[in-house]
Structure 1
Amino acid sequence: MAARAGTPIGRNFQEFHFGPWTVSAKKGPILKSDDAETLSRELELPQIPEMTFGQNAIKISHTNKFSIEFNAIDALRLVDNKRDLMKVAAAKEWIESRKDCEYIHQTVKPFDWTYSTKYKGTIIGEPEHVKVEETEEKINLEKLKVREKIAFFEQAILFEDELADHGCAELSVKMRVMPSCFFVLMRFFLRVDGVLARTHDTRLYHEGGTNYLIREYSEKECMLDGSNIPASALTDSHAIDKYLSKKTEILHKLVFDANVTNISQTSSPLSTTST
C-alpha cells in the first residue's frame, strides 16, 4: 500500500498512512493551572512539570488492532511520588521557588522533583494482539544511516521543567518514516547543574517485511562535579550523549500476528529533518 501525505484533521491533529500502519500526531498547549493541579492530585505528585503538554502524543497503530502511544501523562505516572532520589541543595530551592503552590504545602512528602521516568511508551492491545518478548537483537543502526527519502517526520515535547533555574528536565519524542522502515526516539534528558546529567532513551524500530518491532531502552548518566564536559554540550541532549556512561540497557521484541506487508516503496518526503 502506498504511503500518502500526512492528512491534517483539524488544526492540531494529523494522520499519516503507510502500508498497514497509521501514525497520528496530536499537539496542544501547556496544561492550564486548574488542569495541572487536577493531574498533580491524580498522580499524587506535589507538582507536575511547569510545561506539561498533556494533549501532545504520537501514536502508531497497526491494522491488527494494536497501537503504541507516547504521551506525557503516562510518562509522569512512572515518576517516583514517594522518594526524593536526588537530595541536593537544588531540591530545597526547588521547593522554595514553588512556595505559592498550595498543593505542595498540603502534601509535604518527598518525591522525585527531577521527574525522571522509565517510560517506554504505552502499548494498547497487549497481549491479545502484540507480545513483548526479551531479545538480544538490536536495532540495525547501519541501515538507519542509509539515506532514504523521509515520507513523514514529526516531533513533540511532552514535558519540560527548568528545575527552579538549576537545570532542565525534558521529555520529547521524534518519529520518522522511510520507504523501508520507521524509527522512533523518545528521550528523557535531565541536567542538574553542577551535579548530574542523565538520559533515558527509548528507541523503536520496525523494518518492512517483518512481523515485529525492536525496542531498545537505555539509561546513561555522568556526574557533572569537576567534569570536563564543554559548556555547549550541557544544554544539548545529543551533544552530551558521548560523555555519558551507560547504566542500563533493556531489549525487547514486540511481535504481532499479521500478514507481513512492506512499508511503501513510493513515499515522497514531507520533511528532510533527521532524527
Structure 2
Amino acid sequence: MEWEGDQKELKAAGAELLTGGRRGLRIYGWEIESRKCSILNSANRQQWEERLQTSHLPEMIFGENSLILKHVATGTKIHFNAFDALVGWKQEALPPVEVPAAAKWKFRNKPSQQLVLDYDYTFTTPYCGSETVEINSQHERGTLNKSSCSLQWEDCKEKIDLVALALREPILFYDEIVLYEDELADSGIALLTVKVRVMPSGWFLLLRFWLRVDGMLMRLRDTRLHCAFLEHGKSVILRESCWRETSFQSLSSKGLPIDSAAYNDPSIISERLPVILQRTQKLNISDTM
C-alpha cells in the first residue's frame, strides 16, 4: 500500500515527488524510489534458475520489484531486490526442515516425480540489503564511467529509537514491496517484504523474512534501517539485524497455542520467538565522503 504526503507537508519538509512515472521522492539529498511489477513469467523464471544454478524457486517472485535509496551527492546506494536475496539463500544453504507432509510433496512442474528434500525449501535468506557507492570518473572524451565500492559499516552499541519513531510526525511517503512468497504446498508460508516510511526527520525501513512451517517451526529475520537527517548534508544510518526462531514443540511446552491460525501476523507474535542473533551497525554519510 503506497502513501504520499500532501503538497503542503512535502514543501514544508523540503521534499518533492519523483517525476516521469517514478514512485517516490527526493529529500535532504536522498532519492527514495519503490518499484512494483508483476511476478516473473516462465521465460524469466528459467533465466533466474540458470543464473542461480537451481531448479527450485519460490512460487511467486516479484523480480522487478525493488526499493532504492540513493544519496545523490556521494553515490551511496542501498537497495533491496529478490534476486540478491535468493543469492543469499543459495549461499547459506540451510538444511531442509523435516516435516511429515514433505514426503508427499511433488515437484510443481513435474507432478509424476517425488520431491527430494535436498535443499532449503523455505527460501530462508540472511539478506539484509544490497549496497554500492557509485563513483563518477571523467574520461578524456567527456563521458562518465561509474565504478563502485562497498560501504563501510561499523559495529556499534547504539539502537534505533523505536519509541521516538512512534511519535506523531508527517509521513511524506510510505510503501510496502513484496519480493517473494511461497505457501510451502499449503503447509505454511515463506514471505520476504520490505517497507519504507519517510518523514521530515529521516527515513525508516523494515526488511522482513517470515517463515511458518505449520506444526514445526517459525523463523523471523528482521533488518531495520533508520537514517536521521542531520545538518550540513550529513546522514547517519543505523542498521539492526534481529533473527528469531522457535519450534511449535517449544511453544507447546510453554503452554502457548500450537494452532497455526494463532501465528498469522509476525508483528504480533515476534516477542514469543527467542532471539538467536542480534547485531547493530552504523554508517556515516556526508557530502564530503
Instruction: Name the TM tier (shorter chain).
Output: 0.7 to 0.9
One-letter amino acid of the structure 1 residue matched with residue 49 of structure 2: S
Q: TM-score, normalised by structure 1?
A: 0.84
Q: Which runs of 5+ in 2 are unaligned?
A: 1-12, 135-147
Q: CA deviation at 1:120?
A: 0.3
Q: CA deviation at 1:235?
A: 1.3
Which among 222, 233, 236 is matched to residue 212 of structure 1? 236
Question: 1:119 & 1:140 partners in 2: Cα distance?
Answer: 23
Give the aligned length. 254
Question: 1:113 & 1:231 partners in 2: Cα distance?
Answer: 19
If you compute each CA radius of gyration, which structure gives the higher value, 1 or 2?
2
Which among 255, 272, 275 is matched to residue 246 of structure 1? 275
Q: 1:129 to 1:89 in 2, by over 3 A?
A: closer
Q: 1:143 to 1:83 in 2, by over 3 A?
A: closer
Q: CA deviation at 1:35?
A: 1.2
Alignment match, 1:79: 89
One-letter amino acid of the structure 1 residue matched with residue 110 of structure 2: D
Q: CA deviation at 1:101?
A: 7.2
Q: 1:128 to 1:42 in 2, by over 3 A?
A: closer
Q: 1:112 to 1:54 in 2, by over 3 A?
A: same
Q: CA deviation at 1:130?
A: 3.8
- The answer as to whether partners of 1:206 and 1:213 remain within 8 angstroms in 2 is yes
Question: 2:266 & 2:180 partners in 1: Cα distance?
Answer: 15
- Aligned structure 1 segments of 4 or more residues deviating by more than 3 angstroms: 6-10, 80-83, 90-94, 126-130, 229-233
1:92 and 2:103 matched: yes
Alignment match, 2:143: none
Q: 1:90 to 1:135 in 2, by over 3 A?
A: farther
Question: 2:288 & 2:211 partners in 1: Cα distance?
Answer: 41
Q: Identity of aligned pairs, percent?
A: 34
Question: 2:150 & 2:211 partners in 1: Cα distance?
Answer: 34
Q: CA deviation at 1:259?
A: 6.1
Q: Aligned ranges for residues 189-228 of structure 1 at < 5 Å?
A: 189-209=210-230, 210-225=234-249, 227=252, 228=256
The secondary structure found in structure 1 opposite 2:153 is: strand
Q: 1:251 to 1:8 in 2, by over 3 A?
A: same
The secondary structure found in structure 1 opposite 2:89 is: coil
Q: 1:257 to 1:179 in 2, by over 3 A?
A: closer
1:28 and 2:49 matched: no
- The answer as to whether partners of 2:132 and 2:149 remain within 8 angstroms in 1 is no
Which among 103, 128, 148 is matched to residue 120 of structure 1? 128
Which among 184, 187, 197 is matched to residue 176 of structure 1? 197
